Every structure is written in structure tokens, then in C-alpha cells.
Amino acid sequence: MLDICWVTYPIHQCLRTNDTCGALHQLLDVILVFSIDLQLPRCQRELQTHCGDTFDIINCRAALSFCGDTLQSPFELTGKSPYDMRTECIGEVRDTLCYPATKQIANYLNLPSTRLTLGIDPLYPNISMPAATLYQSSTLHIAALLDRSVRVLIYAGTYDLVCNFVGNDRIARGLEWHGTQQFVEQPLRDWIVDGQPAGETRAFGGLTFATLRDAGHQAPYDRPVQALALINRWLAGVPL
């Protein structure tokens, strides 16, 4: 569900919160925050016009380029990973997502035996920009699945900026399906693994939202025990 991450621009989702996006406030000074706030209305307007209301790929890319230069570049200058704000970015972003182990994971997943077991068709790269699905929202599709009784889990690590949990929570609460009101009314609560809080969650009907505490973009890599508990509980249909 990578495309939902870009419905609103990730860095601003975190700026007006206290500790909800981990280390971001410690990395950007107040002048940069003020500058980002000034540019935000234009960014939101152009993204909505060219990437939301209509899908004009040329103008949508131009809007994302502008938003990237004004909203994302200040963070990139810190040298930190947008996929885990606690760490330095190691390697090329497209090759590793700043996780050195990504190449080993990709090699394993591309083994003929793994592909046969998973029923995966021809090789596909980690990131394919020509596919252009980055610029399209999947929220309508997710809402349609929920209205057809297909269960949905949306989760994010608390130190992931690119697909941060603040934006994902807003998206989950904004989905238009038959359980919207009841889902929104659910308070966030801790979910527990081995007697310790592993994150926060809210759920109603077929929709579950959860955070993984102290995890980045590759949450199962960062917090394997907690992530496995999350997935197993959700697959079993039991509350987190």
C-alpha cells in the first residue's frame, strides 16, 4: 500500500505533533519548520488538483517535485534515513531503502524456490517509477474492500517518516465505508507482547490500524517478535 503514503506529504504530517513522529523535531530547526508551513498550501493544492481530483501524470510529477524540493529536502540534508529517523541512511535509497539488509532480502525473495512457493510471476524490481502508482491513492479501493467484508490491516513503524503512522492513522480514520463512524470513535490503546507495549491500535469491524513502537519502514526487520505477533493475531481474527 505504498501509494497511500503520499496522499498528504509525509514530513508535514509529523511537524505539528509532539512526540508522535519520534526524532523529527530534534532534526529540523524552527526556521525550516516555518518555511515548510509557508509552502504547504501550494503543495497541498497542486497535489490535490493534479494527483487527486484528476490524474495528470506530468503535472502530478511536477507537483511532487516541488513538494520534494520544499518539504522533503530539508530532512534529507540532515543525512538521516527517511525510513528510520534514528539512523543514518546507508547505501542508495532506491537499492536499499537505507536498510543494508534489503539486498539480501531481495535475493532471498527472488530465489526460484521462493518465487515458486509464493506463486510469484516474472522478476519485478524493488521500485519501478514508470509504473506511476506512487501518484495514485488507493483509499477508494480499500474502502470498497471493507464494504465487501474483506478485512484490512494498516500498520506503520513509529520512526518511519516516508509512510509515517500519523498520516496512516488519518487515512484510516478518513476511509468512507459503512464502519467509518464507529472506527473513528475507537480510542487508541496499547497492544501488548510479552507483557510490554508493542504499539498502539484502534479497530472496528474489518479495519485495524496499528503502530509498531521503535520500528522504521521495515518494521518486521526492526521488531520481528512484535511484528510476528501483530500479523499472527490479525490473521487469526483476534483483537490485538
Answer yes or no: is 160 within a domain: yes
User: What's residue 22's pLDDT?
Assistant: 44
Nearest to 156 by CA among 144, 141, 172: 172
**Does residue 200 register a pLDDT over 50?**
yes
| Residue 154 structural domain | 138-236
pLDDT-derived band at 129 (thresholds 50, 70, 90) equals low
**Which residues touch 90 (CB under 8 Å, ≥6 apart)?**
81, 96, 98, 99, 100
Is the pLDDT assigned to residue 14 strictly greater than 60?
no
212 pLDDT higher than 80:
yes
Label each residue of 175-239 as H, E or C.
CCCCCHHHHHHCCCEEEEECCEEEEEEEEECCEEEEEECCCCCCHHHHCHHHHHHHHHHHHHCCC
Q: Which CATH number do you get for residue 182?
A: 3.40.50.12670
The pLDDT assigned to 3 comes to 40
43 inside domain: no
Inform me whether the pLDDT recorded for 8 exceeds 60: no
**pLDDT exceeds cutoff 60 at 149:** yes
* pLDDT value at 9 more than 70: no
- DSSP run (H or E) holding 84: strand 84-88
Kindly state the average pLDDT of the residues 138-163: 92
Residue 149 covered by a domain: yes
What's the pLDDT at 193? 98
Cα dist. 36→12, 39, 42, 93 in Å?
8, 5, 11, 23
Indicate whether 155 belongs to any domain: yes
- State CA 76 to chain mean position distance: 17
- Interval 161-174 mean pLDDT: 88
- Evaluate whether residue 133 is within a structural domain: no
pLDDT on residue 208: 98
pLDDT greater than 80 at residue 46: yes
Distance set, CA 15 to CA 9, 37, 84 (Å): 11, 9, 16
Q: How confident is the model at residue 24 (pLDDT cuts 50, 70, 90)?
A: low
Query: Residue 170 falls within a domain, yes or no?
Result: yes
Number of domain units in the chain: 1
Residue 216 resides in a domain = yes
CA distance 162 to 141: 21
The answer on pLDDT for 25 being more than 60 is: no
- Supply the mean pLDDT for the chain: 82
Overall average pLDDT of the 139-150 stretch = 95
**Residue 38 located in a structural domain:** no
